[in-house]
Amino acid sequence: MNALRDLSAYRARLAACVRCGACQAVCPTYRETGRESTVARGKIELAAEILAGRMTLDEDNRRAFAACLLCGACTAACPNQVPTAAIVAALRRESGMAGHSSSVSRGVAALTGHPRLTRRLFGSARLLAPFFLKKVPETSGLRLRFAGQALRNRVLPPLPKKSLFDLVPERLPGQPGKPTVAFFAGCSISYLYPDIGVAAIQLLHRLGYTVLLPQSQACCGMPATSSGRGALAAELMQINSQAFSGADTVITACASCGGMLGHLYAEGEDEAARQLAARVKDIHLFLQEEGQLAAFAALPRWRERSQVCWHDPCHLKNHGITEAPRALLRALPNVDFTDQAGAALCCGLGGTFALTQAALSRKIAGRKAAALATAAAHGTALVATGCPGCLLQISYIIHMEGLSLQAAHSISLAWAALEQAQADAIQP
């Protein structure tokens, strides 16, 4: 794939940038660095100069395009909707083909880019973990820390015994007349947080839907895109387009995967991928649009409820999905929801960004840490979010800052409410 050819397709979109500076106010990286090259306006200007042949993709410019979370905040704020993330991805493909992407990002892309290999390695990972991973205190709620310089101080929950594909059948038949939906799991839910996938699938099934979990699905391709591996990203798009070709609605419970599938797929040349993008729906928005929040609001209120606040994943917030998750939390009988200040602050993960741009990631995370500390001081007990990547990062922040908080996926809370309601209903 020729990235400059791809970039030329954005020539008119590059020209649409009027240098108004709206992106400056919302860019997490610019907020920390103050450098024009780290904000969308600066990147668009660099891309235009490279496309015109007046500049080259040298080390300084590669560094500028690497300092991007691909979060989409700039496009959401842009009056002309310039797709900066897609443009940055095109430049990273050029950099990747020249062999300049980081070894960490290339490694993550390679691991997640081959579904069969990933599933085989998952089983081995549990056996090898004691040799490569260091333990952290049992009280932290996070059991493992990556060893090695590039991954130093990154923490993970305990590796599950089984992946999501081992826990849920490929098809769960629902009620007659109810729609059929397919669930896109993504790597984090498949192998790190399969309980979130189980909760999402069982919740949809309990509400009457037939739920499909295509075994042939692959990584969404975000790690490959982030690392400039364009050919691999295109291959993953084709795999997923085929895996979900028969599904009218594809549900995601990972904001990052939803952002990739629903938006970056739509920016590509593959027609099947664009058709898939049009059918992708975040689970919170799906439940709201289907009128299912009333089912939760009708459940008896729990006597003991958790005071919960919400963290906006960038790939939900920047695509306009902010009210649906909050509406779900307000409806849950096991939650007292309070919308705390700083909910929309980026957590700083950005997938491999936290590894390849570790110092900048920590600065971004510092603002979120301060907001979480304030929430804890006001009585919040749990932070809910809709992205397993954000869940991982927020859990890391809580651990590093020693905050008296827990973190959970909002769908895990919703499924707990439904499970408890069923248990209460069958008690003699």
Tokens 């919170």 found at: 284
The conformation of residue 158, written as its DSSP 8-state character, comes to: P
Average pLDDT over the chain reads 88
DSSP 77: H
Q: Tell me: the pLDDT tens digits for 177-192?
A: 999 999 999 999 999 9
At residue 145, the pLDDT reads: 46
99-126: string of b/e by CB count within 10 Å (b at 16+)?
ebbbebbbebbbebbbbeebeeebeeee
pLDDT(143) > 70: no
pLDDT at 111 over 90: no
Which of 48-57, 362-371, 410-419 has the least mean pLDDT?
48-57
Tokens, residue 256: 């990052």
Number of neighbours of residue 424 by Cβ within 10 angstroms: 10
Instruction: Give the pLDDT confidence score for residue 155 in this predicted structure.
Output: 64
HSE (CB half, 13 Å, CA atoms) of 257? 29
pLDDT at 2: 46
Pairwise CA distance, residues 380 & 336, whole Å: 9
Between CA 68 and CA 61 the distance in angstroms is 12
Q: Which pairing describes strands 306-311 and 382-385: parallel, antiparallel, or unpaired? A: parallel
pLDDT digits (tens, 9 = 90+) for 294-303: 999 999 999 9
Which of 14, 140, 69 lies closest to 347 in space, CA to CA?
A: 69
The pLDDT of residue 425: 77
Q: Please give the DSSP secondary-structure letter assigned to residue 161.
A: S
Phi-psi region of 366 (alpha: psi -120 to 50; beta: other; left: phi over 0): alpha
Residue 110 pLDDT level (bands cut at 50, 70, 90): low
Task: Give the integer Cα–Cα distance in Å for 156 and 389.
Answer: 11
CA dihedral angle for residue 256, residue 259, residue 264, residue 265, rounded to 10 degrees: 100
User: Long-range contacts of range 299-306, CB-CB < 8 Å, 24 or more positions apart?
Assistant: 299/332, 299/333, 299/417, 299/418, 299/421, 300/333, 300/421, 300/424, 301/333, 302/333, 302/334, 302/417, 302/420, 305/333, 305/334, 305/335, 305/336, 306/334, 306/335, 306/336, 306/381, 306/382, 306/413
Distance in angstroms between the alpha carbons of the first and the last residue of the chain: 64
pLDDT of 88 > 90? The answer is: yes
Residue among 199, 411, 173, 405 at smallest CA distance from 285: 411
What Rg do the C-alpha atoms of the chain give, in angstroms?
21
Name residue 156's beta-bridge partners: 144
**pLDDT at position 80 over 60:** yes
Poorest-pLDDT segment among 1-5, 47-51, 111-115, 363-367 = 1-5
Residue 426 amino acid letter: I
Output the CA–CA distances (angstroms, integers) from residue 249 to 139, 212, 279, 298, in the order listed.
40, 10, 5, 26
Within 304-357, residue ranges assigned H as helices are: 314-317, 323-331, 353-356
| CA atoms of 51 and 298, how far apart (whole Å) | 57
- Return d(Cα 281, Cα 183) in angstroms, integer: 10
> Which DSSP state fits 253?
S
Answer yes or no: is pLDDT of 366 > 90: yes
**Confidence bin at 265 (pLDDT 50/70/90):** very high
pLDDT at 410: 99
Q: Tokens standing for 416?
A: 């707990």
In the chain, what are the domains? Answer: 7-100 (1.10.1060.10), 291-426 (3.40.50)
In the predicted structure, residue 397 carries a pLDDT above the cut 90: yes
Residue 11 and residue 44 in contact, taking contact as beta carbons nearer than 8 Å: no
